Amino acid sequence: MKKIIFLISFLGLSLHAQNNVTSKNIFNFNYQVAEENVIKT
């Protein structure tokens, strides 16, 4: 459950950084890692 809450909060943070291309790229990478972690557990 904690990972799901983390993912939601991270999505919220990414919305604030939408205009920053670098932040978007970092978010996309972190989102993929988070998705893999959710699948593994």
Q: Calculate the dihedral angle through the C-alpha atoms of 39, 8, 2, 23, rounding to the nearest 10 degrees.
A: 80
What is residue 23's predicted lDDT score, i.e. its pLDDT? 64
What is residue 41's predicted lDDT score, i.e. its pLDDT? 60
pLDDT digits (tens, 9 = 90+) for 1-41: 688 778 777 777 766 655 566 666 777 787 888 787 777 76
Q: Name the one residue in this structure whose structure tokens are 């919305």.
A: 15
CA dist., res. 24 & res. 16, Å (int): 10
What would the two tokens of residue 35 be?
């998705």
What is residue 18's predicted lDDT score, i.e. its pLDDT? 57
pTM for the model stands at 0.32
What would the two tokens of residue 32 be?
């993929």
What is residue 19's predicted lDDT score, i.e. its pLDDT? 55
Number of domains in the chain: 1
Least Cα distance to 41 among 5, 13, 11, 1 occurs for 1
Q: Which domain holds residue 31?
A: 2-40
